[in-house]
Amino acid sequence: MIKTISILIISISIIALIYSLNMDVTVYTALGRSVNNIGLIAQRQIFIIVGCTLLIIGVLAYIAAIFIGNSYRGVEICPACVEKVKATAVVCKHCGHNLDKSRRQVLIHGVDVLNIIDRNGDVNTENLDALSRLMLDGMAEHTPLAILVSYHPELEKIKSVHGIEYSNRFEYLIEKNIARLKGGKSGNNH
């Protein structure tokens, strides 16, 4: 939102600067001579000052938006003390609140995908199989990769909660499991 507004401000300032620099500040006298008009010169100066000020404000707002966006990457807000903590934190460093219970759930067909791989890296095969079967329902003719692509928003949520390493491991396991189930289904049909 801030980036969009700052880009709009930068665009307006550039238009104002181009207009002011192309502004004609001369007037013609009755004798046909052109002379500089002090009022038009002052008006051009005002346009230049306003344009430059808007340009500086827009650029600073854009830079601030970039830094604000980067500072919240991999960060969650503790529900107890409303302080920033790492997304992978188990306990809030500010108030000691247990963050595992307050974590968001990422549900795919009612199965919390965050419970498939625990913090030690152990896989809950029962939940993995259940989720694979639910994802495969109605999409049996698609490849495992195509099925995963259709669940892209949910996979992005997993990355935001547990990070890219967990997400990549989850994607790998679910793709392998769907491929295994598809192989089993096609073998039963023959």
Q: Which tens digits make up the pLDDT trace of 63-79?
A: 988 887 666 567 777 76
Alpha helices in the chain (DSSP H): 2-21, 38-71, 125-136, 144-150, 152-162, 164-189
**Which residues are within 8 A (CB) of 68 and not within 5 positions of it... i.e. 6 or more apart?**
2
CA 157 and chain centroid, separation: 11
- Residues 27/37, Cβ–Cβ less than 8 Å: yes
Helix axes 125-136, 164-189, angle to 10 degrees: 60
**Residue in the structure block whose two tokens are 């890296």:** 121
Q: How many CA atoms lie within 13 A of 185 on its CB side?
A: 13
Nearest alpha carbon to residue 127 among 142, 114, 141, 140: 114
pLDDT of 187 > 50? The answer is no
The confidence band for 163, taking pLDDT boundaries of 50, 70 and 90, is low
**Percentage of residues in the chain having pLDDT higher than 70:** 76
pLDDT of residue 67: 81
Which of the four pLDDT bands, split at 50, 70 and 90, describes residue 189? Answer: very low
Assign 188 a pLDDT band (cuts: 50, 70, 90). Answer: very low
Q: Which residue would you say has higher pLDDT here, 132 or 17?
A: 17
Report CA dihedral (41, 44, 45, 51) to the nearest 10 degrees: 180
> Residue 41: its pLDDT value, please?
95
| 85/162 Cα distance (integer angstroms) | 13
Residues 145-152, mean pLDDT to the nearest whole number: 81
Mean pLDDT in residue range 117-143: 76
**φ/ψ (deg, to 5) at 171:** -60, -45
**37-93: pLDDT as tens digits:** 999 999 999 999 999 999 999 999 999 888 876 665 677 777 677 788 887 777 888
Give the pLDDT score at 97: 74
